[in-house]
Every structure is written in C-alpha cells, then in structure tokens.
Amino acid sequence: MRPMRGIALKLGSVLVFIAMSALIKLSADHVPPGEAVFFRAFFAMPVILVWLVWRGELATGLRTQNPYGHLWRGLMGTSAMGFGFAGLAFLPLPEVTAIGYAAPLLTVIFAAMFLGEEVRAFRIGAVVLGLAGVLIVASPRLTVTSGAGSTEALGAMLVLFGAVCAALAQVFVRKLVDTERTPTIVFWFSLTATCLSFVTLPWGWVWPTALDWVTLITVGLLGGIGQILLTSSYREADASLIAPFDYASMIFALVIGYAAFDEVPTLTMLAGAGLVIAAGILIIWRERQLGLQRTRQRKAMTP
C-alpha cells in the first residue's frame, strides 16, 4: 500500500472529471446530452482497452459472468450522465457539483432498501444532514418567490434526478463486485453507455462543429483517463483514506467555474455544500471506525 500515491491518483481523477464536466458545459447549449454521453462513453473505450493491454488484463477484463447486471448498471449510470450533462446547460458548475453530492448519500438509503445493508442511527443522521445541505443548494432554483427562472429550476431537477440514478448505479456496482473484476465493470459500462446513447437519436443529435469535435473527443479521453486514475487509486490505498478527497471536486469546480465561466458562488450554495461535505466525511469516518472495530474483534477471536 502506498497511501500518498493513492491520494495523488484520487485527486488526479477528481480534477480530470471536473475538467471533463467543464468541457461538457462549453457545448451543452447546442449539443444534446445524449450525444454528449455517446462521446463520453465511446472515446473512453480506447483508453480503457490500452490500459488493459498494458496491464496484461485484456482477456480477463472483457470477460463477464453477469451481463444483465452490467445492463442494469449501464442503464442507471447512463441516465445519471445524461441528466447531469443536461443540468450543466442551466446551472453553474459548482452548483451541479454540490447537488451531485446527493448520490453517495442516497446510496446509503438504497443499499439499505435493496441490499439489506444495516444502517444505524449515526449514518441516518448524517444522511439527513447531507440531504438538508443539498436542499439548501437547490432551493433557490426551485423556489418561485426567489425569482429563479424555469430553466434554472429544470436544471436543478435534472441534476437531482441524475444523483438518484447515480446512487442506483452504485447499488448495482455493489452487486457486480461479487463476481466481476473492476476493469470488467469499467469497460462494460462504457460499452453499454455507448449503445444506450443511441436511444436519444430521435431527440435531435446535431453535427458537431470543428471545435465541438475536439471538445467532445477530449471529454471521452478524459473520462477514460479519470476512470483509470480512480481505479488505480483504490489499488494503492484504503478506500476509507482516499474517499474524502472526492470533495476536493468542489474546490476545483469553484476555481474552474470562476475562471472559465465567470461563475461566482453564493453564500447559500457554499453553506449547503459545506453541510453535504461534512455529512459525507462523517459517514466515511464512521465506516472507518466500524471497520477498525471489526478488525480488532477478528483478531481477538483468533486463537
């Protein structure tokens, strides 16, 4: 285990994914989200395949024992991407990032509902705190009296729907890891998302401009690179150590949003994001404590 290397890889993946979202936002006003999903998924596959060849895992990485599991995971993950990409056309990048933090909180609820995972009072309280933060971020866009436009309200709802789909996708991933290797899950998601994106063709794909071609292909390449960095980070360090660095995405989103789109965060957005981040870190900390406790119990029972 090399914890500092794991942290560096995790931060690299977070930065790459935020940069990818910023590029999606650049073309979101005229490129349909389904078309953006296609570029994100299709052009990630060559990067993933090269990585598998380099690691000598091509044969094992493409072999699956649960094709239907990949289909359901792909359906939810693709929907999450599509809703999130659509929301970028209407909301500032930091707000989309903050509302997206609802996904890991909702995963706790869905894991209890569909996987039978035990959820104690501490985690329930942290989830409630985090979801309150998400509502604080989204409420100015959804409240009629605030003067928010209909497009902003639509954007907030799209990102919230995306968070729900992302949480459901994580539930399917938790089932897949019982039988599937991580490279297998990564590759088959990209392939499934590519195929599912064609369902949106009747909703008006456009022929990209020269700049759009460069932007959207870069989105796909960054998506593949980000996925590899993320996967590699968990090979180098414990998940409980590097998971909190997900929230560095807010810092990157604030910087990129201000520099590229002149987006100035509101105090309401920052306060809500702070609550969500605090809730996420509390859940991670609690899980680490429970993990250490289980380890001590196993050692005590070992003769």
Kindly report, residue by residue over 2-41, the tens digit of the pLDDT. 788 888 998 999 999 999 999 999 999 999 999 999 999 9
Q: Select from 18, 23, 21, 80 the least CA-distant residue to 214.
A: 23
Amino acid at position 287, single letter = E
pTM (predicted TM-score): 0.88
Asked if 44 contacts 217 with a C-beta cutoff of 8 angstroms, the reply is no
- The b-or-e profile of 279-299 (16+ CB within 10 A means b, else e) is bbbbbbebbbeeeeeeeeeee
Rounded distance between C-alpha atoms, residue 290 and residue 286, angstroms? 6
For the chain, give the number of residues. Answer: 303
Q: 137 with 193: CB under 8 angstroms? A: no
What is the per-residue pLDDT for 224?
93
DSSP state of 174: H
**Which string of DSSP letters, residue by residue, matches 205-255?**
--PPPHHHHHHHHHHHHHHHHHHHHHHHHHHHS-HHHHGGGGGHHHHHHHH
* CA distance between the termini of the chain: 27
Positions of the chain with pLDDT under 70: 1, 143-149, 239-240, 290-303
Q: Which two three-digit tokens encode residue 154?
A: 């639509």
Q: 24 to each of 75, 127, 133, 160, 216, how far by Cα in Å?
A: 20, 29, 25, 18, 7
pLDDT, position 302: 56
User: What is residue 145's predicted lDDT score, i.e. its pLDDT?
Assistant: 47
The answer to whether 225 touches 265, Cβ cutoff 8 Å, is: no
